[in-house]
Amino acid sequence: MEDELHNDNVRRRKNGTIDIDFYRREAFLVRRETTNRIFRRAARLGRPLIRAATIVLTYALVAPRDQLPPGADSIFVSANVPLLPTETKK
């Protein structure tokens, strides 16, 4: 009766001790498989986000910007020098 209630499905070595190495390998493989699955899912979800961020960033960097008005502390402000003299010499 006691043997029927106690089902011992533990993997053991030839000397009767529990095969710890077997269970360590099994646990390592399960953890590795789970980790790989998590990273694959994250990559699948991350790709569209990276693409969207790249598009927005590219648009922000390439889009034309309003130039600063003259005199806004810029050293490149044009000096309104006419190319041809407007007044004649006397």
What pLDDT score was predicted for residue 90?
65
Q: Which residue has the higher pLDDT, 9 or 81?
A: 9
Write down the domain spans for the chain: 2-62
Of the pLDDT bands very low, low, confident and very high (cuts 50, 70, 90), residue 9 is: confident
Strands (E), 2-61: none
Mean pLDDT in residue range 27-42: 95
The set of residues, in sequence order, having a beta carbon less than 8 Å from that of 74 and lying 6+ positions away, is 68
Of the pLDDT bands very low, low, confident and very high (cuts 50, 70, 90), residue 54 is: very high
Which residue(s) pair with 12 in the sheet?
18
- Rg (alpha carbons) of the chain, rounded to whole number: 38
For residue 25, pLDDT beyond 60: yes
The set of residues, in sequence order, having a beta carbon less than 8 Å from that of 3 and lying 6+ positions away, is none
Average pLDDT, the chain: 80
5 and 17 in contact (C-beta within 8 Å)?
A: no
